[in-house]
Structure 1
Amino acid sequence: MTAIRGTDVSIRTQDGTADAYFAHPADGTAHPAVVLYMDAFGLRPQLKAMADRLAGAGYTVLVPNVFYRHGSAPVVPLPEFIADADRPALFERIVPLMGDLTGDVVARDSAAYLDWLATRPEAAPGPVGTTGYCMGARLALLTAGHHPGKVAAAAGFHGAGLATDAPDSPHLLADRITAELYFGHADNDPSMPPEQIERLDKALTEAGVTQHADVYAEAAHGYTMADTDRFDAGSAERHWTALLGLFGRAL
């Protein structure tokens, strides 16, 4: 088993300082870099555990607190296990934070994350990968679109709002994307309904983007998150197989 090292770090951005978690193999060598974007519940032990698993597979992983403008993680205090009954009160506080993450804001922040990784001896030079969960899938796709020369692989799982009517919808950057993409959509997910899946696929196909998408049958939105009652172990393992396959090919 690969030994890994995980530390809390700070990253200077144009708008302040983002706290983040940084994990990498503890072997003293450089490894391909990945930005892992959090779901709406934020940077917490579950996300750190996922970063550690990815680091154990041979990657240098950065997990930024994308809500840093509102404070250090946890910006919204969470129960140890997030049940459906907890969600209304939590999202009452989280939704306004999500609204701040416009396309322009994500472009600025992602540039800072990528620039920071480029300075780290633990990160191999060259293109990076990105993966995101829930709202983080949108951030991963926007990062690929805003930084095509730097991002070689991008993935999104139970993504939300990837092809909306908004003027900064990620799918509108399709003609700028050079990364290979993978999406693991959740079945019957109201945050990414079939018409958005179709619109996303159409935009990427017409732009000539190398991409693949699966709909994980009977998987709920949030299926990768073991600290919630939406977790589905089989779908979560399927996601790891797909993600590591993508990064293995592209990075």
Structure 2
Amino acid sequence: MCDEAKLKEWALSRRQLGVLAGAAAVTACAPEAVTAGTETSDAALIQTKVSFETADGTMDGVFVHPAEGKHPAVIFWPDIASIRTAKIDMVRRLAAEGFAVLMLNPYYRDVAGQQFDDFTDFFANDGFPKVTPWRRKLDADSIGRDAGSAVEWLDAQAAVDTSKGIGTQGYCMGGPFTVWSAAAVPTRIKAAASFHGGGLVRSDYEKSPHKVLGQTDAGFLIAVAQDDDAKEPTHKDEFAAAAKAAGRLAVVEVYAGGHGWTVPDSPSYAEPAAEKAYTDLLSLYSQQL
């Protein structure tokens, strides 16, 4: 999972800095995040910075959807570096497939909006110590409350087809958030995907994601990184067994990439494996939503 030890492994060498700088130059040509209260659109998509009330405060995020029609909704939980250009690009790509995608700021209890430009910025500016106190507030209960508020907000949007189930996907720390979201709103969330998610199996936590599968009504894609699996080789099997016991469909697979392999600004980005994960995500949504 993406903890401080992992970030030390990612400590940037000159070569890594060059790779990430190149990635930043590419994404600089992509659509930028909108500022508060503004909307951008092109021929196909509308992108808006949004906010709405939750039990814990005012949550903000970015909402992207096709310019016309109603579409299945997706709740997008970002990784430890939260909202930034690379993640918005991922959201826009998914929205272009015909989804209304809401990327949430999981740190809204402490800060609003984007905090880091990319992973280079995260590393250079002591990102892990900065976000650690914010992350401590993110457990099964708080994420469940947030998911409930997000579903309520989405269902009130004209671009959302409420006759379809909602999907949710999460990266790194956002992986378990997808399971907790599905458990919190089982009547609406019908598909959940975790990509290199950490903490899906926590034997000492009564609300560990693998222990709440029986509270869900969703199908799952659990995409595991090779290095995470090497460190915790039994976790994939424990999750799969828990899903089977709960009667939930779950595809649990180790992909040919290290932790962070699906995210373009990650030092571990591996395009072939990332594309396979994307195809598998679309398959999950096609089957479940």
Deviation at 1:80, TM superposition (A): 4.0
Larger Rg: 2
Q: Structure 1 unaligned runs (5+)?
A: none
Identity value in percent: 32
TM-score scaled by length of structure 2: 0.80
Matches of 1:71 and 1:188, distance apart in 2: 31
Equivalent residues of 2:144, 2:184 under 8 A apart: yes
Instruction: Provide the rounded CA distance (Å) in 2 between the counterparts of 1:191 and 1:134.
Output: 16
Please give the per-residue CA displacement for 1:11-46, whole angstroms capped at 9, x wherever unaligned.
Answer: 11111111100000112x100000011111101111
- Match of residue 215, structure 1, among 245, 254, 259: 254
Deviates more, 1:62-71 or 1:169-178: 169-178
Please give the secondary structure, in 1, of the residue aligned with 2:126. Answer: helix
Q: Is the 8 A contact 1:39 1:132 kept in 2?
A: yes
Name the SS for the 2:109 alignment partner.
Answer: helix
Q: Distance in 1 between matches of 2:64 and 2:155?
A: 15
1:65 pairs with 2:92: no
Mapping for residues 75-114 of structure 1, pairs under 5 Å: 75=115, 78-82=116-120, 86=123, 89-114=126-151
Shift of 1:225: 1.1
The aligned runs of 1:1-251 (5 Å cut-off) are 3-27=44-68, 29-75=69-115, 78-82=116-120, 86=123, 89-126=126-163, 127-165=165-203, 166-189=205-228, 193-217=232-256, 219-251=257-289
Secondary structure of the residue that 2:70 maps to in structure 1? coil
Number of residue pairs matched by the alignment: 246
Structure 1 counterpart SS, 2:135 = helix
- Summarize the Cα distance change of 1:146–1:133 in structure 2 as closer, same or farther, 3 Å threshold: same
Alignment CA distance shift 1:192-1:73 (3 Å)? farther
Q: 1:50 to 1:2 in 2, by over 3 A?
A: farther
Post-superposition, which runs of at least 4 consecutive aligned residues in structure 1 deviate over 4 A? none
Q: Distance in 2 between matches of 1:103 and 1:188?
A: 25
Q: CA deviation at 1:89?
A: 2.5
Q: Distance in 2 between matches of 1:43 and 1:115?
A: 21
Distance 2:119 2:142 in 1: 30
- One-letter amino acid of the structure 2 residue matched with residue 45 of structure 1: T
- Given residue 236 of structure 2, which amino acid in structure 1 is its aligned partner? I
RMSD (CA atoms): 2.0
Structure 2 distance, partners of 1:192, 1:179, is 28
Counterpart amino acid of residue 64 in structure 2: A
1:103 Cα deviation (Å)?
1.1
Q: What is the Cα deviation at residue 246 of structure 1?
A: 0.7
* Cα shift at 1:195: 2.0
Structure 1 pair 210/86, CA: closer, same or farther in 2 (3 Å)? same
Q: Distance in 1 between matches of 2:117 and 2:113?
A: 14
SS state of the match for residue 159, structure 2?
Answer: coil
State the Cα distance separating 1:171 from its structure 2 match. 1.1
Contact 1:164 1:196 in 2 (8 A): no
Instruction: Answer yes or no: is the 8 Å Cα contact 2:71–2:99 preserved in 1.
Output: yes
Contact 1:2 1:56 in 2 (8 A): no
Deviations 1:114-160 (A, max 9, x none): 00001001000132111111111110111111211111111111111
Deviation at 1:190, TM superposition (A): 6.7
